[in-house]
C-alpha cells in the first residue's frame, strides 16, 4: 500500500480491509471499525495532515462509535453495494482532479 505525503482522499472498503488484511473474525467488526476511525483521525491530524478518509461499510447501520470526525466520514452502504459506491466516488473525485486512493483487496476495484 502506498501512502502519499500530499493531501489525499482515501476511500476505504472497511469490511474488506479488516477481514482481508487484519483477519478480524465475524462479530468483532464494529469494535475494529471504531478503533480504525480513531486511528485514521489521528493520522489526519499528524503524519497525513490535510488528508481525508471515507470509510465505506457494507450493509446497514451498526454501532461503530463516532461516524463523522473532522477528517473521517464513515458511511454505511445500506441497500446499495459498497463496491459500487466506492467505484462511483473514486471516479467522481478523479474527474474533479482530486488525489484519491482506494484501499481494498477487491480485484475489481483495484483495476
The pair phi, psi for residue 93, each rounded to 5°, is: -65, -40
C-alpha cell at 78: 445500506
pTM over 0.95: no
Alpha-carbon torsion, ordered 11, 27, 80, 44, to 10 deg: -20
Provide the 8-state DSSP code for 97: T
pLDDT tens string, the chain, 111 residues long: the values are 556 678 899 999 998 888 888 888 888 888 888 888 888 888 888 877 788 999 999 888 877 777 788 889 999 988 888 889 999 999 999 999 999 999 888 777 666
d(CA 74, CA 10): 12
Q: Give the strands of the sheet with 52-57, arranged side by side.
A: 72-76, 52-57, 9-13, 100-103
d(CA 83, CA 67): 19
d(CA 88, CA 83): 9
Provide the 8-state DSSP code for 43: H
Amino acid at each position: 500500500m502506498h501512502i502519499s505525503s500530499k493531501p489525499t482522499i482515501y476511500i476505504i472498503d472497511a469490511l474488506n480491509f479488516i477481514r482481508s488484511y487484519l483477519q478480524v473474525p465475524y462479530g468483532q467488526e464494529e469494535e475494529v471499525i471504531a478503533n480504525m476511525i480513531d486511528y485514521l483521525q489521528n493520522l489526519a491530524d499528524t503524519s497525513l495532515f490535510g488528508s481525508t478518509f471515507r470509510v465505506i461499510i457494507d450493509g446497514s447501520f451498526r454501532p461503530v462509535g463516532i461516524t463523522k470526525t473532522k477528517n473521517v466520514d464513515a458511511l454505511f452502504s445500506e441497500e446499495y453495494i459498497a463496491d459500487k459506491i466506492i467505484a462511483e466516488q473514486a471516479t467522481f473525485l478523479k474527474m474533479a482532479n482530486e488525489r484519491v486512493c482506494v484501499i481494498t483487496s477487491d480485484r475489481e476495484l483495484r483495476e
